[in-house]
Amino acid sequence: MTELERDVSADTDNPDRTPMGVLLALASLGAAQALWAAFQWYELGEMRRGGETLCDLVGGGCGVAWNSPAATAIHEATGLPVAAWGVVWGVAAAAAALFRLKSERNELNGAIRLLAAAGVLACLALTVLLLQNGAICMTCLVTYGLVLGYAAIAFWVPLGGVDWALGAAIAAGFCAVVFGLALLAGRDTPTETAQSGSVEV
């Protein structure tokens, strides 16, 4: 093999390298979102059992978001409340970045960016929902910051080549695995508040 052929082969087999710091930042933001969403999930359970939450103490409108018709429909249809879906997204987003640290594969770049886009869309949908109900969810603002930070890095920092089709499959796979685990862990989350007179689990 000539020197030129070796160079071409290397370019084909190895996508553009992404600085480790970028991938660690993505993984950290995803992990932070997963932990924060897990806390919100816990708060949701406490609120629906009639307990006091951090959101109550800071005067936020979390209850309006968590108990809205749309949020209730998502919980009943999927078995997970909106906060738990934040855990699913955070773990999947962190996993995609961590796997990318170990493997320079274009499909993982696609997974990272698709998860980032999905997170931004979810934040926009939640914002619209809150505005329609005239509420401000203070703890949700932390989620917005983490997700938007992840998306900003994912889209404005060069990651190398992107394989969207395989990236979508990988992102869906990560989410499916985490969803299954979350469903097992959170199947006892109440679907109604204690104030309604019937807390369902």
Place of tokens 């979102």: 33
More confident of the two residues 14 and 163: 163
What average pLDDT does this structure show over 165-171? Answer: 96
d(CA 154, CA 150): 6
Residue 3 is predicted with a pLDDT of: 46
Compute how many other C-beta atoms are within 10 angstroms of the C-beta atom of residue 118. Answer: 17
Instruction: Report whether 63 contacts 149 (CB < 8 A).
Output: no
- pLDDT greater than 90 at residue 129: no
- Taking residue 117's Cβ as centre, other Cβ atoms within 10 Å add up to 14
Q: pTM for the complete prediction?
A: 0.83
The torsion angles phi and psi of 11, rounded to 5 degrees, stand at: -65, -35
pLDDT band at 131 (very low <50, low <70, confident <90, very high): confident
* Distance between CA atoms of residues 193 and 72, nearest Å: 11
